[in-house]
Structure 1
């Protein structure tokens, strides 16, 4: 991730909030076949110490993850920053603003009851977010069909040993509002919002 400490979130809990809000991660690990990545919905526990996810049994990572160290990356909005947006362009270069959270830790395989609990948490959380009333639950599924689906996936839990969040939101630029306006004009409203809300706590310019 970006080494500049200006791009580390100053507020406690921001990284965990982003993981919960985005809810989807790329999980990387080494395997005998080389490095592999899987993409999966994730569940961060209440105190931010574990991250759960599930993969298809046929995924290239599934049979190698248990007991290994893995890296999970949750990515937020990103956008190109044009040097034309600076008032003083003589010492400006184009760059890229982005939000990303890395979590590293050792992975264990979940048993079937833990996997089912993870799926219930996932569906309850996201059904509430989309506003379904009544929400979907697995009680609506045929039990035998659900059992076959469970047999086709594997659940995992990462014990998080290190967090490495980066919020590169032009905190080191005095013209942050001009840059946020430029980002907004190019259709990246979510990133512009974060630049305005989270980019001002460590201004160094």
Structure 2
């Protein structure tokens, strides 16, 4: 994607944290001569060499996976909070804009075996169920229920390139205090999340400057 230099985030640790926190992504490839996209969880993991990979699954009824073998190149889009930014919050005249965070990952996909899919799903369910009052586990499900695993196709994505855009009013640091205040004035999750991230970065920068 096009990212102006001031918005490019090359802090891989920060990007990893973002992917883990916003793992419901869009998987895109070419299928039957046209772009195809599926909304699905993509979990960040490690391969046997310790390199970052993505692991996911889609329904076997979804024809997207049939293109994996002949055309393994895929694009994964992770999208985070975003918000309209009014230029009325600036000290000087300027056009309005939009703040957002997005990560694009390009890679090559390979299909997992049924056993690999089952092993990964065990970990995935345990991860998301740990905060529940009555967590479920695949360990306690009947063989009949686990047969549903046959209805999905699991895959891993070897990462070739990561592009991260963190557009947070860079270049308008003198206006950040008011931007943050205005964003928090309305009870909208996206606005407040952007405000919190901007404040965290602002406070971190202030600490480094002291």
Q: CA deviation at 1:41?
A: 0.9
Whether 1:125 and 2:127 are equivalent positions in the alignment is: yes
Misfit runs of 4+, over 3 Å = 198-202
CA contact (8 A) 1:54 1:156 kept: yes
Q: Which 10-residue stretch deviates more, 172-181 or 21-30?
A: 172-181
Q: CA deviation at 1:54?
A: 0.2
Deviations 1:153-184 (A, max 9, x none): 10011100000011101122121221122222
Q: Please give the residue correspondences for 1:1-205 in structure 2 after superposition, counting only pairs within 5 Å.
A: 1-9=1-9, 11-46=11-46, 49-66=52-69, 67-89=71-93, 92-128=94-130, 131-132=131-132, 135-147=135-147, 149-174=148-173, 175-186=175-186, 187=188, 188-198=191-201
The residue that corresponds to 2:208 in the other structure is none
Q: Partners of 1:72 and 1:115 in 2: how far apart?
A: 19
Q: CA deviation at 1:139?
A: 2.2
Q: Structure 2: any 5+ residue segments left out of the alignment?
A: 206-210
Q: What SS class does the counterpart of residue 63 from structure 2 fall into?
A: coil
CA contact (8 A) 1:10 1:201 kept: no
Deviations 1:56-96 (A, max 9, x none): 0111312112351000011110011111111212xx11111
| TM-score, normalised relative to structure 2 | 0.86
Q: Partners of 2:103 and 2:137 in 1: how far apart?
A: 30
Q: Partners of 1:133 and 1:64 in 2: how far apart?
A: 40
Q: What SS class does the counterpart of residue 108 from structure 1 fall into?
A: strand
Q: CA deviation at 1:33?
A: 4.0
CA contact (8 A) 2:78 2:104 kept: yes
Q: CA deviation at 1:140?
A: 2.6
Q: CA deviation at 1:5?
A: 1.8
| TM-score, normalised relative to structure 1 | 0.88
Q: Partners of 2:4 and 2:180 in 1: how far apart?
A: 20
Q: Structure 1: any 5+ residue segments left out of the alignment?
A: none
Q: CA deviation at 1:8?
A: 2.0
